[in-house]
Amino acid sequence: MKRVSVLLLSATLMLGLGCGRYSYEKRLEATVDHLRYLQRLDDNLIPAPEDGKFKDFPMYLRPPKGMTLSSQFGMVADLPAGQYDLAATFLGDGRSLHVLARRKTAKKAPTKGAPVAPETATPRGPFESDVVTLLASVYGGEELQTPKWQNETKSKNTFKRLIFNASNGNVIRVYLYQKEPYDVALIWDIPAASNKDGSLSTARDLSLQSFAVGRKAQRFFSGSLTEAEGGESSSSSDGATAF
């Protein structure tokens, strides 16, 4: 992003000149860190898709560079009707990122005297259980019989993480994000040969750091909040005021 590069250069030059006051320099340092972090995101990630299903949910997700949004969900041919409010797949360089999400909404009371509509959707169980059931049907593996979830924090986002090997040898990394009223599963399908690639790991971490749903996602889409403001830059402290 040219604008980020220009701002970063300007702030760096001002910092190098020195401005006399300690508080001013700290604000300037925070600004430089902020801009460097934004540049790092742009160097590693593609822009968040702005099509209807992501904006309507709303979900802000920036996958690693080299990945593109597929025209259809790629994990299975057909998902159970009504199980998820958003289902999408990003593909690139032999890797896949599958997205499954729900948003809880208040049920409307039926109109008095109105005929009862037949149930057409598959009943929803607990989100985690439904995701694990789907994973087991696609990837197999004994690990999914008793999943060993671990908590993992990426910037200000807290996930439950599950890593296991698929029957084809690929490494599957699942990140569950659950914050009322949203449930999201980010499922990374990675060839074993690429699993320890440092650049891919960095891009995945940055993607998880900049992830957002709800009002925060809406502010990202509108440009009223940047990923660095919504999360944390690499070296600035919490509460630092950008210049």
Cα dihedral: 137, 141, 143, 147 (round 10):
-10
Maximum average pLDDT range among 10-19, 25-34, 92-101: 92-101
CA distance linking residue 147 with residue 91, whole number of Å: 26
| 38: nearest Cα among 172, 171, 190, 206 | 206
Region(s) of the chain under CATH 3.40.1000: 50-109+124-195
* pLDDT > 90 fraction of the chain, expressed in percent and rounded: 60
> Rounded mean pLDDT of the chain?
84
pLDDT tens by residue, 108-126: 555 555 454 445 567 899 9
Helices (H) and strands (E) in the chain, counts: 7, 9
| The pLDDT value given to residue 37 | 92
pLDDT tens by residue, 67-115: 999 999 999 989 988 999 999 999 998 999 999 999 998 655 555 554 5
CA distance linking residue 49 with residue 221, whole number of Å: 10
pLDDT greater than 60 at residue 224: yes
Can you tell me the mean pLDDT for 159-165? Answer: 96
**CATH T-level topology, domain 50-109+124-195:** Protein Transport Mog1p; Chain A (3.40.1000)
Within 10 Å of residue 226's Cβ, how many Cβ atoms? 19
pLDDT greater than 80 at residue 150: yes
pLDDT greater than 50 at residue 243: no
φ/ψ of residue 229, rounded to 5: -75, -35
pTM summary value? 0.81
Burial of 37 (C-beta count, 10 Å sphere; 0-12/13-18/19+): buried
Asked if 81 and 121 count as a contact pair (C-beta separation under 8 A), the reply is yes
pLDDT greater than 80 at residue 225: yes
